[in-house]
Amino acid sequence: MTKVEKALSIYEQRFNCSQALFVAFRDSERIDEKMALKLGTIFGAGVACTGGTCGAVSGALMAISMKHGREDVASVDAKTKTYQLGRQLMDEFKKQNGSCVCEELLGMNIGVPENMAKAQAAGLFATKCYDLVKSAAEILDRIL
């Protein structure tokens, strides 16, 4: 199973978009799946259901940082590379999808209970969000 397929499989199990990306692309030797699921939870629905940055983007950014992030004072180049890859991911995602902001992508803030109900009734999680998870995973797979 590819990492893109793994991200989609995790998402189809009703984990959020951030969890799907982070779990599929994490360094499994450094962090197990259960901990990755826990860490990714807060970034779903536009970061804690605020409509902010798309959770798929957030999960992808966490995976980039896990692979390339700065882990000591001397590794300044790692910080630069991590930021560059993060910007690349966000630029490509925005180009493909029109935005990196959950509320803009879905046309509503799903942190508002009545909007969550509307999104569920419209099947947005199985359609639009699925496509956003796929888009972020494909970009991440290409740039990592």
| Share above pLDDT 90 across residues of the chain, in percent, rounded to a whole number | 98
Per-domain residue ranges for the chain?
3-141
Query: Using N-to-C axis directions, what is the helix angle for 17-25 and 3-12, rounded to 10°?
Result: 150
Instruction: Tell me the pTM.
Output: 0.96
Q: What is the pLDDT of residue 44?
A: 95
Q: What is the pLDDT of residue 7?
A: 98
DSSP 75-135: -HHHHHHHHHHHHHHHHHHHHHHS-SBHHHHHTS-TTSHHHHHHHHHTTTTTTHHHHHHHH
Rounded mean pLDDT, 62-83: 94
HSE toward the beta carbon, residue 55, CA cutoff 13 A: 35
Secondary structure (3-state) at 139? helix
| Share above pLDDT 70 across residues of the chain, in percent, rounded to a whole number | 100
Q: What is the pLDDT of residue 55?
A: 98
Distance of alpha carbon 42 from alpha carbon 97, whole angstroms: 22
Q: What is the pLDDT of residue 26?
A: 97
Q: Tell me how far the alpha carbon of residue 125 is from its chain's centroid.
A: 14
